A and B are shown apart, each in its own frame.
Chain A
């Protein structure tokens, strides 16, 4: 039974090893991407089969299998699958080592898996390290590009520092409670007289995880890293890495630090407010596509953080919904950016000029995804934002809900700037725009899922209501 429950992790680790072996012998690196998609689908089946099983702590409590973890694993696998689908041509054109790229992105996902499927701090920390170490390398894989090296170095230095900060916070929790298991920690902290030290541990952990999810004021590495990294890696970091950070934040705050949760709500609400406002305001003035999307990602992290700050069952449900929708719309938008940068390497927003005439299908898809990022119906982004907004109002944080609405309005200009360039700009350099089947498929899946989540959100929301963060 234990083995069935951790089958997803076993399959994903196996996929990484198979890719490692295939990389030695395969003549065409394309077969690695195909194997990757097949492996991802197999893992997805294993995860889906585990849905609805009674929550279980296996392997002496170092792995926890529950629907919360399964749901996040689905998000990671969706992202991993899409990355496998749309990366090939980009990697080929930019001369990135493909074998290593596919291997590392698989192991990074395995790290994310372990982060969400445990209440044991040691497993969570090792998963975090696995994911971030793989990400440092992935960010620096454009070796001819100095900006990619800069992205990797900045990410590495900040990441190593924040890992230290998180460990320091975790070590305080261990010292105060005598345990590394979040449930035992919560029990010990509930009666502990050391409020000052618990607060200190919380500060370190929230600051450290704040770095990982690129919340302001811990965001300084994010724009450079997201811009300089290879575009498929940026897509992965902005979605999967961030979602894993949020999952751990939820687990630690709502389970381990539950006795002290009340004192953190206002702090988190302020961080959420500052993060979304800073991200949106800065995104307006950007002229490079990836940098604009990087700041937009910071803003979106702010919206998701609202769910953590409100910390009610409704807000957690809204957060979970928004994170899946966010994964689809962001990865989809990056698919269009990748398609375009395969033809025009400059990656300026100007490149979108006249896209509607040259490739109406892509322009339409991009428009839908951007509308979803703004939060306009009938898209998944709209429904997710609405749910977050309602949970904030019901959770007594009306000002935060209001800030979300204002921020959505602020975000309209820069998202619309892309749409305007695609549809209204006169000059359109004549150029054949084409893409491989994988990228088209990835974009199609992303757009279809974004629309589906917007039009029929009820079944998913109904299911998400049953998910418990607490054991």
Chain B
């Protein structure tokens, strides 16, 4: 194995472990911070694949903006809103099954799925050798976005507009007396 392979394994392990912690963390703040680490890990994988611009964008957008906004959201919510109704209402059976459901099942599912996919991918013959990307990725991306994929690019802006309108429609408090 080359050095790159080892680095990849390390980055992948960090990514997967932090993703797992996102799912099983009991405190939502912890989950948000683990999510930030997951995004960092994904950026590292982009970097290893030679997609330097994507890695930078991943850090800027996901770590810098998305995680921060999630944390803002948590800080601006009241504890009652975060915790929901008190757990006493639930039955004992549900709460004793919770640890298994939260930590064990996702692990088994993920490992099983990964095993199947690794077996399949190893048996496959992939047409182009991976990892040979040009160094000038921002220029290539820009060219592709504004020539060949200009329509999908425009559609993405409509998707963002819809998300904006929708966020306001769902979050804005009703003005009283109307």
Contacts and interface: CB of A to CB of B under 8 A. Distances in A.
Interface size bracket, B side: 20 to 34
Contact of A130 (B117, B162, B169, B170): B162
Given A62-B152, A123-B152, A196-B120, A177 B127 contact: yes
A13 B162 CA distance: 11
A100 B124 contact: no
Most buried by A among B148, B150, B169, B170: B169
Interface string B132-158: 000000000000000111111001101
Interface majority SS on B: helix, strand, loop or mixed?
helix
A126 B152 contact: yes
A396 interface: no
A392 B163 CA distance: 42
B123 A123 contact: no
Given A104-B162, A176-B127, A137 B155 contact: no
B147 A141 contact: no
A107 B158 contact: yes
A194 B166 contact: no
B169 A104 contact: yes
B174 interface: yes
A401 interface: no
Contacts of A141: 169-170
B151 A63 contact: yes
B73 to A, nearest CB: 16
A343 B117 CA distance: 54
B151 A130 contact: no
A371 B105 CA distance: 46
Most buried by A among B123, B162, B163, B166: B162
Contacts of A114: 155
A236 to B, nearest CB: 15
Interface string A1-45: 000001000000100100010000000000000000000000000
Contact of B162 (A97, A122, A123, A134): A134
Interface string B88-119: 00000000000000000000000000000100
15 contacts: A60-B148, A60-B150, A62-B152, A114-B155, A130-B155, A133-B166, A134-B162, A137-B162, A140-B170, A175-B126, A176-B127, A177-B127, A188-B127, A192-B125, A194-B124
